[in-house]
A and B are shown apart, each in its own frame.
Chain A
Amino acid sequence: MAVTVEMPKLSDTMEEGTLIKWAVKVGDTVSAGDHLADVETDKATMELQAFDDGTVAKLILDEGATVPVGQVILILAEDGESVEDAAKTEVSTAPAPAKEEPPAEPASAGGSDEPEKAPEPAKPEPQKPAPAPAKPIAAATPTPSPQAPASGSVKISPLARKLADEHGLDLNKIVGTGPDGRIIKRDVLKAAQDGTARPSAGGASAPPMAAPQAIALESKTTQVPGMRKTIAKRLVESKTTVPHFQVSVAINMDPLMEMRATLNQRLASQGIKLSVNDFITRAVALAATQHPVINSSWMGDTIVQHGTVNVGTAISLPEERGGGLVVAVCRDVQNKSMMQISSEVKELAGAARGRGLSPEQMSDSTITISNLGMPQFGVTQFNAIVNPPNAAIVAVGAAIEKPVVRDVYGEKKIVIGHEMNATLSGDHRVIDGASAAEYLTTFRSLLENPVGLLV
């Protein structure tokens, strides 16, 4: 018996998914847990894993196709079953269970008695019920049930193409319900309404600028893609419902920079390179263990103080993945070594920018870091918006060389030193200014005495 794989529900709000890339091809043998495909939800791109063993018999979706959750997207042949037989398996192309059927054929009362009989053409009778739907006539094209395009280019009606252009929608992300999965007007209008087909990234890449010329700014309105909507909704909610306050601190990063250079030199042979962010991540977590109020959540009637520190890191996604940002979560950081943290965060960032994060990798953060300290930005200080239900987010600027006052052999001197600003945005319902200051003091102390981070 062939096994079908359906479009999974990969987030709480997910109604449909887009198949970004198949990781298998027909004939491949897969085992449970194997990576089958990358699927984009309204929030992120996820890996779809196999839950059964078998041989890939049929890939039902083309890359780029969007289908409702629950629709069969792949067929596996079980042991002893031929791929050919399995591929013939009748699959339900019905969309998600809750979804409404397309308009049903009209109920016909009297006409259904003689479905074959043509109405008497010359004598219209206003009260006569609709002729019963009969088998499709030869001249008319039957309209099959919705399904994905068979192969290759997107099938779309000219009008739908025009409308999609007008709405700036990505055709690959619109579910076609016409014959052979053709995208038709109502599909585009639905996608435009639902915001489920954000514009394709880089679709309109500008040609390389050959010579200075008049700068033409394109004026355009684009449909808000799903992720952007999620970001907008959550941040508006945070900024409008969470009473924010900010506390900043300047941190002397000279010791850490020095130690990091030394460590990386030694670790280079193992292919390890610790980033400043890795130290910050550990510092955020260790400081939180000393100030658990920072590592808490406002739950309305209760305040939950978390028993572990899961540090979320905001990761911006590259344009070609549609932009936006996700929060990747590194768990139990207080119990992890610098090396562990470093490799985990690296993997998370890579996954976020690549195939996408799993729901697990995006959930259950207890405190968040937003780091714009990358040298190319030159950001020294900024305020972040709290990422609910976290009570705090630490916004980190770049560690830059600047004139600083240092105690040089017992003497205050202005020297060139690395300094980094960190700003904690807190949920004032949970944290008070003093608590924030105490936390930042610990945080600063950990970074200024980085050896403590290594143990």
Chain B
Amino acid sequence: MTATNASPSDVSNNSRPSDKLSDDQLVKMLYDMMLIRRFEEKTMQAYQQAKIGGFCHIYIGQEASAVGSISALKDDDPIVGAYRDHGFALARGMHPNYCMAEMYGKITGCAKGKGGSMHMFDRDRHMYGGHAIVGGQCPLGTGLGFSIQYEEKDNVALCYLGDGALNQGGFFESMNLAAIWNLPVIFVLENNNYSMGTHIARGTAMANDLSAKAQAFGMRYAECDGLDVLDVYNTFSDQVAMTRNAKNPQWERGNWDEIEYSREGSNPGPAFVNVKTYRYQGHSMSDPQKYRSKDEVGEYKERDPINILVNHLIEAGKATQDQCHELDSKAKQVSKDAITFAEESPDMPTEEMFTDVYANPFGPYIKGGLPNIITNENSGE
């Protein structure tokens, strides 16, 4: 797990936050991306074998987005996202076994088999879930930012959303609330150009200049190359630093006319970050991808995020080809082991059906226990 206390980049010296990453940190980022890639390949295989059911959204191609942004966070900065969430779980440090077991609907899954592919939760790793209704997580992320500010903590909440969520009302309401209260939250647009099969230009006004979305709320805007994990990392290092410790102007009563919502610059406050990425696979496992050409996908694969980092590390002498192969082999093995773990785990038992409906249960409901990923030692309250 990469933790960093990155500070805003010193633009005048042209140095970037990634320059300060250690070799180990860089290798870890590479491995995390490889793990997501191999894990997702196994996920697709298991889905096609009908081991995994329901909707299943593959993260391949977008690895740099999760790994780069999460690497720029503190361990206890909360994140919440959408349904294409396996990559986030792994980038946040969830053991692949629990992630895969969840998709298998096994009791050993991160949500005991109650959530599935679209609902990866990990309380100890401050992952507040994948959420399946498009845009539904935006108010939740706003609530996380509100809570951080309420408790006067120095955390930042990251709220991930796809470009489809840009057109949901909840997104705009959330942006507005975050802006008026100056909440420590960053709305992370994972912009892979398609909401299902609809190109962003067909569904979203000002798709050619999404900064307009932030400007409407006087919110900081940033964008980055979502295929370059270091660019993602650098962008988030800066933005997180400028969001941390955001203060609510309305905690001072009475001087409403003086509230200034245009905070481009040094004032800590929320941000909207456009991560330009691309998914190689369809929207979900059942997507025939008639809406885009194979050539288009091929072009993006030329700029594969993993290859970009591998090339960078080899060129910079921070890793060898063999090391990279070794990392990849390890990622393959760990993914294979996750399949084995999931296969061998028991199903969610019948008696679990009525647990976790209520924390304070009544009638037919039963108090539930925590999933395997949270041990008694590291569980919270």
A–B direct touch, CB within 8 Å, in complex? no
